[in-house]
């Protein structure tokens, strides 16, 4: 087994181990927050069905109208 194959197997095992601990159900969905240099994105995900229940970001019109800037502490 080459070093590349060992790294790939280790990465897959790590991925499975983490996904066992971090998963959303219908009773307790998972919150996923992503941040870019300009915006913040949030999703509530049900992993049982693989569906995003709600999503929002600082690019949405209703959120954008309430904020002066998307890159400051108040936007967070």
DSSP classification of residue 29: P
| 15: helix, strand or coil | helix
Across the chain, how many H-helices and E-strands are there? 2, 3
- Paired with 31 in beta bridges are 44
| 20-66: pLDDT as tens digits | 877 777 788 889 999 999 889 999 988 888 889 999 888 877 777 77
Is the whole-model pTM more than 0.75? no
- Paired with 51 in beta bridges are 46
Pick the CATH number of 24-76 from 3.30.420.100, 3.40.50.720, 3.60.110.10, 3.40.50.620: 3.30.420.100
With a CB cutoff of 8 Å and minimum separation 6, the contacts of 18 are none
What pLDDT, on the 0 to 100 scale, is given for residue 72? Answer: 61
């Amino acid at each position: 087994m080459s070093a590349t194959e060992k790294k790939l197997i280790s990465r897959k095992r790590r991925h499975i181990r983490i996904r066992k601990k971090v998963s959303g159900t219908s009773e307790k969905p998972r919150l996923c927050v992503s941040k870019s240099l300009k915006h913040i994105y949030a999703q509530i995900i049900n992993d049982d069905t693989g569906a995003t229940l709600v999503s929002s970001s600082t690019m949405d019109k209703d959120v954008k109208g309430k904020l002066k800037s998307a890159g400051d502490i108040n936007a967070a």
